[in-house]
Amino acid sequence: MDQFNWIDGLDRSGWIATALFVVFFVIAAFTIAMMLKLNAENKKIQKKKSLKKSPAVTSKPTRSTPAKAEAKNTEKKKEASSPLEEAEVFITYGLNKQAIDLLEEYLVEHPSNKTAREMLEKAQSGAQK
């Protein structure tokens, strides 16, 4: 009895069906791979966006109106834990007169504080401009 050879047993429609199945399988595998890659890229983008929104990330102050600076200062004021930090925020946003007042009050209580004196000089030089 002759052994059946499955390759010889396929007729033309069988070969076409097999070829179509292989092509479909390759396309499906490629599509899945691209979807996984796209998903990974989207996760990276979302992670970068969430880092940009993070309050820990700081940026340089931009020029703004005094009202905006005051609003930003009010937010920062809540975070400031000492008069020196608060004065630094005032100076950063160009509110030098408020910084001068605060530092002068602080220096009455702490006259030997070198950092406060330097900040006062910085605020006074900024107020003159």
Distances 64 to 52, 57, 68, 92, 94 between C-alpha atoms, Å? 21, 20, 6, 12, 10
State whether 40 and 75 are in the same domain. Answer: no
Which among 81, 83, 79 has a CA at the least distance from the CA of 109?
83
State whether 27 and 76 are in the same domain. Answer: no
Is residue 43 in some structural domain?
Answer: yes
Confidence (pLDDT) at 1: 46
Average pLDDT over residues 91-111: 90
* Mean pLDDT score of the chain: 78
Segment 12-50, tens digit of pLDDT: 777 788 889 999 999 999 999 999 988 888 888 887 777
Which among 96, 85, 98 has a CA at the least distance from the CA of 124?
96
Query: Structural domain of residue 84, as residue ranges?
Result: 66-128
State whether 34 and 85 are in the same domain. Answer: no
Question: Best-predicted range by mean pLDDT among 28-32, 75-79, 81-85, 93-97?
Answer: 28-32
State whether 40 and 80 are in the same domain. Answer: no
State whether 37 and 77 are in the same domain. Answer: no
State whether 123 and 72 are in the same domain. Answer: yes
State whether 70 and 47 are in the same domain. Answer: no
Per cent of the chain over pLDDT 90 is: 26
Structural domain count of the chain: 2
Is residue 60 in some structural domain?
Answer: no
Q: What is the DSSP letter of 82?
A: S
89 burial via Cβ count (<10 Å: 0-12, 13-18, 19+):
buried
Is residue 114 in some structural domain?
Answer: yes
Is residue 28 in some structural domain?
Answer: yes
Q: What is the DSSP letter of 2?
A: P
Confidence (pLDDT) at 127: 74
For residue 128, what pLDDT band results from cuts at 50, 70 and 90?
Answer: confident
State whether 89 and 117 are in the same domain. Answer: yes
CA atoms within 13 A on the CB side of 13: 0
Is residue 59 in some structural domain?
Answer: no
Q: How far apart are CA 33 and CA 36, in angstroms?
A: 5
